[in-house]
Structure formats: structure tokens, C-alpha cells
Amino acid sequence: MIVVMVALACILPSSAHAARIKDLCNVRGVRSNQLIGYGLVVGLNGTGDRGQARFTVQSTAAMLRRLGATIDPNLIQTKNAAAVMVTATLPPFASPGTRIDVVVSSMGNASSLVGGTLLQTPLLGADRNVYAVGQGPVLIGGFSFSGSSGSSSGQNHTTTGRVPEGAIVERSVPSQTLDQETLVLALRSPSFITAQRMADAIQQALGEGTARALDGATVQIDTPESYQGNPVKLLATIQAIDVEPDAPARIVIDERTGTVVLGAGVRIQEVAIAQGGLTVEIKESFAVSQPEALADGDTTVVPETEIAAQTATGALHHMPTTATLEDVVSALNALGAKPRDLIAIFQALRTAGALQAELEVQ
């Protein structure tokens, strides 16, 4: 039996609220950097790379050679070792000696990294220079077991793990100096309204003419004389200022999961809506057909398919003009529409011109 029905999801209402400038933007020149490295995880209980993963054998032989042991790669069995890619994020202003987390991911055919230990692995930046070195026990947070007959049991993903504070920073990343006459803030969500509000709030705190919005994503700050030579104090003052961010009128729809999210600025004009649902049910059964007694014939199995379609009747509902997001949610809940129905309703409202919001379908 196959039943075609709408799936369930939820609507999460949100509202605009004051936020710190620190949470709305980044300081230009202050950024994180990605690191990557190739290493070996050893100490596995027979769950490491084998067969076609020849790079694990070559890496093991090269490592042993550096440690003074020369062994023929053809004699190495690597079922207790696995080749992995190691990734990390180097935060801004990280100095030598700082510890950072690393993520370890199998790149061969290892079935599990449970119980493994990451050997010393250089982590390189985009310029191919080593900025950190990682090593330590790999934490998985799951398990995986398999029997000789092919049965298996597992929880979570066991070929990817973390080494908390497993890397030590060896070199700091040169960053743009903050001791300048001007500082630039880059908004994470560009908006002309938010940028201007931010500039106004900064001027109110530091004085007229100290900040101006260059565009919807950039705010430039001229360092006041009282903060000359002390950019840290200036940024600490600016980032603590509260600003009311602009709430875009946007509806995000994920048709794969049936998820619908409404932004705080969504409004609906007066409209009438009728919504019906279609349910299709398919039943498959088998009947046995056999010849009568003493008749010449064979017994056969005959499939029988029964299809039923049902359309729900939807009355015409009047939706008044909404003023707030709460009004929108209340009006839609009054329709009794499910999330899959809401997707079609929003698309129809947008076409009819009654939905004053951006519709983003993922």
C-alpha cells in the first residue's frame, strides 16, 4: 500500500530586537583562517584502511623511515591505521602556544576511527606555510560493530571525529593593524537601513561625524582624538552599542523537508483563500487463479491493483490585512493548512500580489 500525503513541519515566528554591533558585523582585517593537513590515525581495532588504500601503506612506510625504521611497504599491514584529512580554524590574533580544536576525517576505506590516536600532523594555510601542529586521541561520540556474517550495529558517524585542543599554534597570522585613523565594519547581512542605524548609533556615542555608512554592507569610523593609539578600547566601546537591525520581509521555504520560516516583516494584504488537499491511496493484492478440477491448465498468481483518490473540500476563507507577524500566523492557522499546503498558499499569494515579502525557495 502506498499513501501519498503531506508531511509535517513547523513555523518558527521571529521578531526584530536590539542587538549589539559585535553580533551584526565584523571588523575588516580581523578574520579567521582555515588550516588543513594530511595525517595518520593509529591504534584502531582492525577498523583501519586496507585493500585499495595504498596511500596509507606509503604514508606509514614514510613515517617509519623518518623515525629510523626502514621497512618494505609490501610487508606493512595497515588495518590498525587510517589515512585522514585534518582541518582546523585558526582564530584571529591566535599567538604561538594557543591550542585549537581539529577535525579528523577518514579519506580511505576505514570503517571506524573509534579508539584511534592522531599522530603529529602539520596544519598548513593557503600559503602552504605551517601554522599549527595537531596530535592527540580522536573523540568520535559513537560506535560501530560488525559480525563475520555481515550483520552490523552502529550509532552516529564513526569515520569523522574531533581532537579537542589537539593542535598547538606555531605561527601567528599577520593581520591588518587596528591602530589606524579609520576602521571599517562589514555587516554580515547587508542592509542600507541597518548600516545607517549603526552609523547613527556610533555617532551618538562617539560624536557627530565619527561614522558614516558607505553602502549597505560597510560602515567607516574615523578614530576620535580621545581614542588615538587605543584601538582596542575604541572597538570595545563600539561593539557594545545596541542597534535595532532591519528585519527583512522574507519567507524561506524548503520543499524537501516541508519547512516554512517567516521573517518578522512579512505582511499579507486582504485576500480570500480556499485550499483543498489531495490524497491518493494505492492498494496492491494478489489473487490465485487455478483451473477447475480435471481441467487442463496451470495455477497462476494474478496481481490486483486498487486506486482511490480523495479531494478534501476547502471553503473560501477571508484573510484581513495583517499588521504583525503574529496576525499572519493566526490567520494561516485559522485555515488549518499543513506546511506543504502553506508552500502552495505563499506562492499563490505572491502571484496574486497580496504577499509583500521576498519568497526564497530552497
Mean pLDDT on 307-314: 55
- Count of helices and strands (H, E) across the chain: 5, 22
The b/e string for 224-238 (b: 16+ C-beta within 10 A; e otherwise) is eeebeeebeebbeeb
Asked whether the predicted pLDDT for residue 339 surpasses 90, the reply is no
C-alpha torsion sign, points 135, 141, 144, 145: positive
Single-letter amino acid code for the residue at 315: A
Q: Is pLDDT above 80 for 178?
A: no
* pLDDT at residue 327, rounded to an integer: 75
Q: Give the pLDDT band of residue 98 (cuts 50, 70, 90).
A: very high
User: Average pLDDT in the 344-349 region?
Assistant: 80
pLDDT in the model for residue 306:
66
- Between the two ends of the chain, the Cα-to-Cα distance in Å is 30
pLDDT score of 17 more than 90: no
Regarding beta strands 317-319 and 81-90, do their DSSP bridges make them parallel or antiparallel, or are they unpaired? unpaired
Domains contained in the chain, CATH given: 2-10+251-361 (no CATH), 19-28+178-243 (3.30.1360), 33-169 (no CATH)
Query: Tell me, what's the pLDDT at 271?
Result: 74
Q: With a cut of 60, say whether residue 9 has pLDDT above it.
A: no
For residue 43, pLDDT over 80 is answered with yes
- Residue-wise pLDDT for 288-305, tens only, equals 677 776 666 677 777 776
Of 59 and 272, which is predicted with more confidence? 59
Residue 309 has pLDDT above 90, yes or no: no
Give the integer Cα–Cα distance in Å for 196 and 185: 12
Task: Report pLDDT for 305.
Answer: 64
Question: 491518493: which residue's cell?
Answer: 280
**Mean per-residue pLDDT, 48-73:** 82
CA atoms of 25 and 28, how far apart (whole Å): 9
What's the angle, vertex CA 347, arms to CA 342 and CA 349, rounded to 5? 90
How far apart, in whole angstroms, are the C-alpha atoms of residue 73 and residue 54? 9
Tell me the DSSP string of 282-334. Answer: EEEEEEEE-PPTT-S---EEEEEEEEEEEE-----EEEPPP-SHHHHHHHHHH
Pairing of strands 358-361, 250-254: parallel
Spatial separation of the C-alpha atoms in residues 337 and 332, rounded to whole Å: 7
Across residues 224-248, what is the average pLDDT? 89
For the ranges 19-28, 71-80, 209-218, 272-281, which has the lowest average pLDDT?
272-281
pLDDT at 58 over 50: yes
Return the residue matching grid coordinates 552609523.
199
Positive or negative CA dihedral for 195, 197, 198, 202? positive
Q: Which of 45-54, 272-281, 285-294, 344-353 has the lowest mean pLDDT?
A: 272-281
Q: Which three cell numbers mark 148?
A: 563475520
Q: Is the dihedral of CA 21, 23, 25, 30 positive or negative?
A: positive
Give the 3-state secondary structure of residue 246: coil
Looking only at Cα atoms, what is the longest distance across the chain? Answer: 112
Alpha carbon 217 to its chain centroid, in Å, reads: 23
Mean of pLDDT values over 328-352: 76
Other beta carbons within 10 angstroms of residue 149's beta carbon come to 6
| Alpha-carbon span 37 to 98, nearest angstrom | 18
Identify the weakest region by mean pLDDT among 51-55, 105-109, 158-162, 316-320.
316-320
Dihedral (C-alpha) 257, 262, 268, 273: value to the nearest 10 degrees? 20
Q: Cβ-count burial of 152 within 10 angstroms (0-12 exposed, 13-18 middle, 19+ buried)? A: exposed
Residue-level pLDDT at 322: 67
199-216 pLDDT, tens per residue?
999 999 998 989 999 999
Cβ contact 109:54 at 8 Å: no
Q: Which three cell numbers stand for residue 14?
A: 521571529
